[in-house]
Structure 1
Amino acid sequence: MRKALIVGIDHYETLENLSGCVNDAYAVRAAVERNSDGTLNFPSPQLIVGTSAERCVKKRDLKEAVRRLFADDSEIALLYFAGHGYIEDTGGFLCASDSETGDDGLSLAELMTLANASKARNKVIVLDSCHSGAVGNSSMAADIAQISDGVTILTASTADQNSYEVPGGGAGVFTNLFVDAINGAAANLVGDITPGSIYAHIDQSLGPWAQRPVFKTNVKTFVSLKKVDPPISLGDLQALTKHFPSPDHQLHLDPSFEPERSPDQLADPSIAAPDPANTVTFAVLQRYVKVNLARPVNAPHMWHAAMQSRSCELTVLGQHYWALVNKGLI
Structure 2
Amino acid sequence: MRKALIVGIDYYSHITNLGGCVNDALAVRGVLERNADGTLNFPTPNVLIGTNDTQPVTKTELKSAVRELFVDDSDVALFYFAGHGYLEDTGGYLCTSDSVDGDDGLALSEVMTFANQSSAKNKVIILDSCHGGSAGSNAIARTMTEISDGVTILTASTATQYALETGDGSGVFTRLFVDALNGAAANLVGDITPGSVYAHIDQSLGTWAQRPVFKTNVKKFVSLRKVDPPIALADLQALTTHFPTADHDFLLDPAYEPERSPGQENDPSIPPPDPEKNAIFQVLQKYVRVNLVRPVDAPHMWHAAMGSKSCELTVLGQHYWKLVSEGLI
TM-score class, shorter-chain normalisation, is over 0.9
Counterpart of 1:221 in structure 2 is: 220
* Deviation digits for residues 46-71 of structure 1 (CA, Å, limit 9, x no counterpart): 11000000000010000000000001
* Counterpart residue identity of residue 70, structure 1: F
Counterpart of 1:122 in structure 2 is: 122
| Mapped partners of 2:57, 2:160: distance in 1 | 25
Correspondences of 1:160-309 after superposition (within 5 Å):
160-166=160-166, 168-309=167-308
RMSD of aligned Cα (Å): 0.5
CA shift for structure 1 position 144: 0.6
Deviation above 6 Å: which 4+ runs of structure 1?
Answer: none
| Mapped partners of 1:130, 1:256: distance in 2 | 60
* Deviation digits for residues 73-104 of structure 1 (CA, Å, limit 9, x no counterpart): 00000000000000000000000000000000
Counterpart of 1:58 in structure 2 is: 58
| Mapped partners of 1:161, 1:31: distance in 2 | 27
- The size of the alignment, in residue pairs, is 329
Scaled by the length of structure 2, the TM-score of the pair is: 0.99
1:328 maps onto 2:297 in alignment: no
Counterpart of 2:83 in structure 1 is: 83
* Deviation digits for residues 222-265 of structure 1 (CA, Å, limit 9, x no counterpart): 31111100000101110001101111111000000000112411
* Counterpart residue identity of residue 179, structure 2: D
Specify the SS of the correspondent of 2:26.
helix
* Counterpart residue identity of residue 11, structure 2: H
Scaled by the length of structure 1, the TM-score of the pair is: 0.99
Check the 8 A contact 2:72/2:120 in 1, yes or no.
yes
CA shift for structure 1 position 140: 1.8
Counterpart of 2:19 in structure 1 is: 19
Extract unaligned runs of 5+ from structure 1.
Answer: none
> What is the percentage of aligned positions where both structures have the same residue?
70
| Mapped partners of 2:134, 2:103: distance in 1 | 14
CA shift for structure 1 position 289: 0.2
| Mapped partners of 1:316, 1:328: distance in 2 | 19
Counterpart of 1:31 in structure 2 is: 31
* Counterpart residue identity of residue 228, structure 1: V
| Mapped partners of 1:128, 1:283: distance in 2 | 43
Check the 8 A contact 2:296/2:309 in 1, yes or no.
yes
1:101 maps onto 2:98 in alignment: no
| Mapped partners of 2:47, 2:110: distance in 1 | 21
Counterpart of 2:67 in structure 1 is: 67
| Mapped partners of 1:140, 1:95: distance in 2 | 22
CA shift for structure 1 position 139: 1.2
1:311 maps onto 2:310 in alignment: yes
* Deviation digits for residues 35-55 of structure 1 (CA, Å, limit 9, x no counterpart): 000000000011100000000
CA shift for structure 1 position 220: 1.1
Specify the SS of the correspondent of 1:80.
strand
Check the 8 A contact 1:19/1:169 in 2, yes or no.
no
Extract unaligned runs of 5+ from structure 2.
Answer: none
Specify the SS of the correspondent of 2:37.
coil
